[in-house]
């Protein structure tokens, strides 16, 4: 994680809702006003998937504290090893980077029943301390850093199971991390490029509001 990303978050512009120029990784994805409707459910869904695969995969149960769980497609997948998948794990990283970027640009984060507890856990604060309908400005710096760090943890898991050659297959075995299924899959490499690009956009978005080291 870049050292600058954990510096003091400075709000130079008034908060605004998701809209206009926002997260644009290699996929061209940009949260817009519709993100207000799916951010909460999306975060809640991803949290449930993380919990599912954290329990299901041996490599996740044995992972280090710096790694988020390797992700799959769905429960009881039987295709080859049944996961983990590089593109699923990198997709989770991109999710967090995209919202870190939105927060870095001053987006006003909505709070609902579906995301209140999850946001509170990320911020290390009691759920009742959060605002009624949107995140208070005093938490934006902390949320930006938490989102960026969470994305980095998924990248760390991919790095753990990437060989020295840099080749990425479709899956890395859920029991021992060995590459399996389609070899040197373009989709996996594209997912890495997209996640990396999304992270860069997020850091750049926050850099204008971060103090220099």
User: All domains of the chain, ordered by start, with CATH?
Assistant: 3-207 (1.50.10.10)
Contact 135, 144 (CB under 8 A): no
Contact 199, 148 (CB under 8 A): yes
Rounded distance between C-alpha atoms, residue 97 and residue 157, angstroms: 15
Q: Which of 60, 63, 85, 69 is nearest to 169 (CA)?
A: 85
Contact 71, 89 (CB under 8 A): yes
How many C-beta atoms surround the C-beta of residue 114 within 10 A?
Answer: 17
Both structure tokens of 164: 């020295």
More confident residue, 112 or 78: 78
pTM value > 0.85: no
- Tokens 């996640």 locate to 195
DSSP 42: H
pLDDT 10s digits, 38-86: 666 788 899 999 999 999 999 999 999 999 999 999 999 999 999 999 9
């Amino acid at each position: 994680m870049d050292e600058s990303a954990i510096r003091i978050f400075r709000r130079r512009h008034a908060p605004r809702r998701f809209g206009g120029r926002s997260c644009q990784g290699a996929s061209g994805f940009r949260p817009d006003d519709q993100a207000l409707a799916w951010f909460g459910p999306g975060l809640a869904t991803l949290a449930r998937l993380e919990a599912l695969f954290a329990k299901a995969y041996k490599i996740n149960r044995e992972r280090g504290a710096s790694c988020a769980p390797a992700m799959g497609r769905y429960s009881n997948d039987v295709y080859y090893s049944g996961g983990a998948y590089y593109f699923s794990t990198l997709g989770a990283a991109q999710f967090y980077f995209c919202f870190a970027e939105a927060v870095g640009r001053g987006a006003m984060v909505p709070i609902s029943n579906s995301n209140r507890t999850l946001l509170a856990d990320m911020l290390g604060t009691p759920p009742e301390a959060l605002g009624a309908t949107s995140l208070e400005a005093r938490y934006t710096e902390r949320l930006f850093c938490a989102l960026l760090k969470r994305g980095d943890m998924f990248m760390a898991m991919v790095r753990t199971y990437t060989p020295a050659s840099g080749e990425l297959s479709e899956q890395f075995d859920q029991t021992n991390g060995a590459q399996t299924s389609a070899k040197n899959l373009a989709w996996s490499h594209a997912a890495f490029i997209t996640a990396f690009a999304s992270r860069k956009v997020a850091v750049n978005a926050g850099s204008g509001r971060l103090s220099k080291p």
